[in-house]
Amino acid sequence: MDFFEEQRENRRATLILISVFLFIVLSMGYFIDHFYLGFDITRGPFPFATALAIIVASGWAMTSYYSGDTIVLGSVGAVPLDISTADDKEKMLMDVVREMSIASGNPMPFVYIMPSDQANAFATGRDPGHSSIAVTRGLLDRMDRSELQAVVAHEMGHIKSHDIQTMTVVAVLLGAIALMSDWLWRISFYAPRKSGKSTDLRGTLIVLLVALVLAIIAPILGQIIAMTVSREREYAADAASVEFTRNPLALASALEKIKAGFVPMKNASRGTAHMFIVDPLVRISGDKEGFWADLFATHPPIDKRIARLKLSGHEIVAQGYGKR
């Protein structure tokens, strides 16, 4: 794997995502100023909504980049793993994370536990030096050591390629767009008007239309972005797990256990689903593929991932026998 090329692509993707977000928020500010409040942007008065949009957009962009991991971890109820824990499973997790940190060449990430019966995990942060890995209690309870190692190695692959930066920014900015859409919808009924009745009606209708469009496209946009960010990169992270552990069958076994024991995850959302090793919200149904399946799925088909890993395992075994 060329991790350096992956890193460059993820930095470009993050910059594009933040730029699109800034454009959306500034457009909202312009619509409110020009169509709703009746301000002439070119002649004055001061464009309050546009200025506010610049401040809000800049704040969200900075927050998503520098504090997005804290927001995401808080949203799923993740708590830091106590390094002095007496729990054998938690001790094993800490040992495995240290091992895979060395194997991947990543700095040691912070480790978190999510209080969920679902077996799942994700990584977050803005770069390998500021990264965290979170696993559910259900994952700890179900996995043996080699399977846990494979899952952690998968997340280390995301960290090494800087996937975590892009996925964290996506999660926070999508949440911001949803909040702003709701805010825009609400102010269309309560904000003051500056012009005549016909202009008031036109401005109100335009703002309502923009809010409605945002409310409709935000989840769709989220799915499209999640597909772009997540699907191919899940295959790449699976390959990284194999590279770090040399044990593709362990990850295949872990994915099979996750599939077999699926239960809904209460604290997950559509904005964060793309970050997990498997979709935490939708019951895994197998090998659905095609344009529409790809468009509305945050992850590649789990059966296809398992098949690839098993094939890789057979190839490794065959190569081993061939050397004897």
At 137 the pLDDT is: 97
- Whether 152 and 123 have beta carbons less than 8 Å apart is answered as no
- Whether 162 and 11 have beta carbons less than 8 Å apart is answered as yes
- H runs (alpha helix) in the chain: 3-31, 48-66, 68-75, 88-104, 137-142, 145-160, 163-190, 197-226, 232-245, 248-260, 291-295, 302-322
Is there a domain that residue 13 lies in?
yes
Is there a domain that residue 50 lies in?
yes
Is there a domain that residue 232 lies in?
no
Is there a domain that residue 197 lies in?
yes
Number of domains in the chain: 1
**Token pair in block for residue 47:** 């464009």
Active-site residue, 9 included = no
Question: Beta-carbon neighbour count of residue 91 at 10 Å?
Answer: 14
Is there a domain that residue 296 lies in?
no
Residue-wise pLDDT tens digits, 117-176: 999 999 999 899 999 999 999 999 999 999 999 999 999 999 998 888 877 877 777 677
Is there a domain that residue 287 lies in?
no
Catalytic pick from 6, 147, 155, 234?
A: 155
Parent domain of 201: 3-73+165-218
Is there a domain that residue 311 lies in?
no
How large a percentage of the chain has pLDDT more than 90? 39
Q: What is the identity of the amino acid at 320?
A: G
Is there a domain that residue 210 lies in?
yes
HSE-up (13 A, CA, CB side) for residue 176? 27
Name the residue with higher pLDDT: 308 or 63: 308
